[in-house]
Structure 1
């Protein structure tokens, strides 16, 4: 632990920590029958659904599982008119379809979290949590959304 960093030399080991948590599916890319990736949200302290990240591309079996639980968004979706960046720091915009925010996804995320509880890197979709409701999902805005739980 006391060894200095030496540029261009291998001596340190980088350990990436991932945590499993939940988020609400609020939008997708692709179609309702074949989603490609999920745009995820969590409720803030005022009850508004805030974007906290997106998944990597879904595998075909994951896309089929998710598609069974998607429904088109009703008018007044909290993300109407919002544009989503294709990647962190990018000016490219994702072409998304808003969905009814009722499906809860279990995800695996690394520890890189921005202020406001937004994951800096795409998260990995693990499965749908069909026994959970959006109210069971941790709130956003905590310093570490992967470990925070709402009372």
Structure 2
């Protein structure tokens, strides 16, 4: 299913009706790792994560953001966050609230040393950025930054 975002499911005798959602889209989701570079909320209570990957030159590039974190996930992430030092690669960068939006997120930069596993629906634009929000799965304290896929590399293909 390379390149397929999902499938549409409809009743056998169902037909398209304008303005009516009688069909269901089932998105294909895979998990992958990304680097936490910024958050919304506070260091003690992050609300969502802004995630990145290193490009071929070693520069951290923003690739997406998560949906709001569940309270238990927020507590787990907060235990490992550290405020960013001067010289963070995203200093002065403004992040849009949603793909293609002009609304800007109010973010706090964090030390980019924490790896998160996220669930993605494979909707990536041509620049390697995820169009839809990602779902935080867990922190990967066992994974180093060098193990995170590079910018422009999509999530690993689903096994099986």
The normalised TM-score by structure 2 is 0.83
Instruction: Give matches, 1:1-151, under 5 Å.
Output: 7-8=16-17, 14-142=25-153, 145-147=154-156
Q: State the 4+ residue runs in structure 1 displaced beyond 2 angstroms.
A: 9-15
The normalised TM-score by structure 1 is 0.88
Q: By how many angstroms is 1:11 displaced?
A: 8.6
RMSD of aligned Cα (Å): 2.0
Structure 2 CA distance, aligned partners of 1:98 and 1:12?
41
Q: By how many angstroms is 1:13 displaced?
A: 5.7
Q: By how many angstroms is 1:116 displaced?
A: 2.1
> 1:3 aligns to what?
none
Structure 2's unaligned 5+ residue stretches are 1-14
